[in-house]
With several copies, the nearest count.
Chain A
């Protein structure tokens, strides 16, 4: 009996009902030599000890949005003042449970997305399709390696990680059922667990699509792509995609390319769907804007057909499109939108139903068919109006003014607007002076959620009024976004690893998330420009990346056009859509691995401990809004990366905020000196909401400080922190002295001044001859300082139990 050895299932003659499956045939040279760490495929309590370390220091803070619970039939229960409900749960624990549920939903979103992509791509390309992220990426799935303990080489390998993640979701969600956890700390631990899973899921999704769709592979110099209303050629049929999963809309590109008709259409879109369309099309797809542009785009009447997939899409999309006569093709099984399933219909029948308006939309979960139907529909609709789309929010000025004149300044809109925008004042001003400028100004801040229209007793089309008031600016907006590059190269990590860990690169600022900005969108650029100029590494993704591509300066240029795309000091790297956030976490992990040679495999706590103490990376989400964003942030937190959120982030109800004054909580084991040493409170928060851009800037600089900074690194970090505090807060920060370990940490230019302050205000002893600090710091700087807060890590490197 002989058989050839390939992977697959084999039937053997004469042996009924026996199948021989040949497992992975692995080249010896490629064998993964790394030893398995302590926690591969961790269950929901395996990393509880690590979480409790974090939670002990970064105490959960709860700001209840509702102080009651009505999830079970014994309720509703009043939980105010931390009272207990019928099941015995108190308010804090109830909030922690809700946070856990939200993180589960967030992780499930990326997971549903990843699973669908993966199954689809494996069906198309086979399990053996190799994971090749280009020559510069050898550590190609740092999160999966660290968490799951495997090294995926093929799409099929990703399934193993996927199945583990699915299992963990069920177990964590289980814990949120009535009558499980009693302590909010345990719910936080579970929220962290599922959020770590979320990072694995994002990595699966993005790796799968990069390799299968040949998206840019860790390329810093990816092309720029057009953004804004102004870049759409309205003389072509316009196909608009919205959502997150490129698998449904990519076939449109494929089909048009095959037909040689790409140039006959405009393909544009919103949110991550188009983000990733630009990655597969090399910049051919165009970006209307972030998630908050949905009603702007639909009510502008520009789309000739709309393609929706999943997540963050308006739940009234069909209604909104229908009102404008735009046919809708819903594609994802997560959002069938109540539409008839047209999977089995012939293409002509679908096109006909949509073009005649017989149906306002169809549910078409067959990507290839979407590829054919969408252009046909767009073309037919385009033919009807001949490029002369009449509707531009209002048919004419009279209609606009009729709406404005209806307003009685009852302020119902103001009291329901997420930003309490003073629509009443804009309307009143316009009524009195015929000047639309106050209304136009609102457009810069409006997220076009439409709640104002729901509240208006006069049924004023407020969104349209606002958009029409800023019509020319909005319609002519043009910008450039650098297409998502995907992972960070190993070589880049090698270059920046040391300066980051030592502190000479003052920090990595990762601006990610949604578009619920508290202020005009341009504030995002203002914040990040500060860090680009100061040669921090700035990374971005998702709607933040899109927004950055839409804000131009006086020269008409976006930040992308002025900044290289490297993961390097002074660079601005756009990694891609939401799921590409995994590359940011991955970069932090790769610093520990590639630069510091820490083993990854199943070794989460050590890596997170390394990141917390050494990698000065801070997440920043200026406009977070969704459970996905909550999961992403919480996943970063577990990895030891602090996250700063805009003020709306306070509505997530829970933050992780340390207290500088609890001195007993700020310590590490120092492996070098074999001792437990007090440390400066750095970073002193894992999740904190700021109110203004000024505050955001200072907090970001502040939270980049790490115990492991060298003197030079600390000096650089403090220089920026102090300068920014002076610039934006008007003086030195209150806590700068806590971060001074020796005179070498002090910013050079201010050294004398600061030494004087340390002496006079803080009572430190200074040797003025040598300009040395004699007494005062929490601890002295030690070049060999080797901090950890994990007993097992201490033991591993010190060879003995940690000191008490």
Chain B
């Protein structure tokens, strides 16, 4: 299930060498694992970040997630290109910082009123900013976090491995997920 060395995947290398914690590091996962996680989830959500403004491919992927029925919380201005492509995000104005604060609250009902989310996918964030949010969620919540990022995110529960040297692989892994939902 986890990405192994003998696979074609690069090693999971922390986005920041000194971003170390005692607690468990993310399991580096292949796309199919993410697909399974989503399928099993009761209330999944995709949170998109500001890097969508600089990467059209990520917008395209997010749209596909949306089309497959995964609701989207759009942060950092990522809502704009998404809305242009027909997405109706659950929220556009709250920052990831705020959304994370909400996620940490077990009483929160989610933006859709259906209760807090159990599986949260993250895509398109500045790595250091996302890392802190994942740390908060790791230590203070039970939510399953999945980082669908170019950089491996150690504080997520599950993360793509490090794909910075191979952007095509990154995109194809994302494609593999949305295609299998």
Contacts and interface: CB of A to CB of B under 8 A. Distances in A.
Interface stretch (A45-53, A357-365, A689-697): A689-697
B139 A734 contact: no
B76 A655 contact: no
A689 B95 contact: yes
B139 A61 contact: no
A135 interface: no
Given A75-B18, A729-B80, 20 more contacts: A59-B101, A61-B97, A62-B140, A63-B133, A63-B135, A63-B136, A68-B18, A70-B18, A76-B18, A76-B19, A82-B140, A415-B16, A420-B16, A685-B98, A691-B96, A694-B76, A730-B81, A730-B82, A731-B79, A733-B92
Contact of A78 (B22, B79, B125): B22
Contacts of B165: 409, 411
Interface string B76-95: 11011111100000011111
Interface stretch (A306-314, A537-545, A562-570, A645-653): A645-653
Interface string B138-181: 11100000000001000000000000110000000000000000
B49 interface: yes
A518 B126 contact: yes
Instruction: Classify chain B's interface size.
Output: 35 or more
A455 interface: yes
Most buried by B among A69, A70, A422, A690: A690
A648 B95 contact: no
Interface stretch (B1-9, B28-36, B105-113): B105-113
B77 A694 contact: yes
Contact of A61 (B93, B100, B128): B100
Contact of B79 (A64, A75, A647, A730): A730
A691 B136 CA distance: 17
Interface string A446-464: 0000000001000000000
Contacts of A409: 165
A666 interface: no
Nearest to A518: B126
A653 B133 CA distance: 9
A729 B23 contact: no
Given A63-B133, A415-B17, A653-B132, A661 B102 contact: yes
A734 B111 CA distance: 10
B129 A647 contact: yes
A67 B139 contact: yes
A361 to B, nearest CB: 24
B133 A650 contact: yes
A62 B151 contact: no
A734 B97 contact: no
Contacts of A435: none
Nearest to B13: A415
Interface in B37-52: 49-50
Interface in A61-85: 61-70, 75-82
Contacts of B132: 63, 65, 650-651, 653
A351 interface: no
A695 B128 CA distance: 17
A68 B129 contact: no
A198 B170 CA distance: 47
A69 B126 CA distance: 21
B70 interface: no
Contacts of A689: 95, 97, 129
Interface string A417-429: 0101010000000
A730 B92 contact: yes
Contacts of A651: 128, 132
B61 interface: no
A698 B111 CA distance: 19
B85 to A, nearest CB: 10
Given A67-B21, A68-B20, A650-B133, A420 B139 contact: no
B50 A730 contact: no
A699 B50 CA distance: 14
A420 B151 contact: yes
Contacts of A688: 95, 97-98
A730 B80 CA distance: 4
13 contacts: A63-B133, A68-B18, A80-B23, A80-B138, A415-B13, A422-B164, A653-B132, A659-B101, A691-B75, A694-B77, A695-B76, A729-B80, A729-B93
Contacts of B75: 691, 695
Contact of A655 (B80, B82, B94, B97): B97
B97 A416 contact: no
Most buried by A among B18, B22, B76, B81: B18
Interface string B46-75: 000110010000000000000000000011
B13 A691 contact: no
A185 to B, nearest CB: 15
Contact of B97 (A59, A414, A650): A650
Contacts of B74: 729
A692 B53 contact: yes
Contacts of B139: 62, 64, 67, 80-82, 91
A793 B109 CA distance: 35
A691 B76 contact: yes
Nearest to B142: A81
A64 B21 contact: yes
B157 to A, nearest CB: 12
A411 B151 CA distance: 12
Nearest to B151: A420
A729 B97 CA distance: 17
A725 B92 CA distance: 9
Contact of B101 (A81, A92, A411, A655): A655
A57 interface: no
A762 B109 CA distance: 17
A61 B101 contact: yes
B91 A647 contact: no
Most buried by A among B19, B96, B132: B132
B36 to A, nearest CB: 25
Nearest to B92: A729
Contacts of B16: 76, 415-416, 420
7 cross-chain pairs, A with B, having the tightest CB-CB distances, nearest first: A694-B77, A80-B23, A692-B50, A730-B80, A76-B18, A63-B132, A733-B93
B95 to A, nearest CB: 5
Interface string A637-660: 000000000011011010101010
Contacts of B81: 730
A82 B104 CA distance: 13
B95 A699 contact: yes
Given A661-B108, A690-B97, A695-B77, A420 B15 contact: yes
Nearest to A77: B18
Interface string A384-412: 00000000000000000000000001010
A63 B136 CA distance: 4
Contacts of B80: 694, 728-730
Given A59-B101, A661-B108, A411 B164 contact: yes
Nearest to B136: A63
A659 B107 CA distance: 11
A70 to B, nearest CB: 7
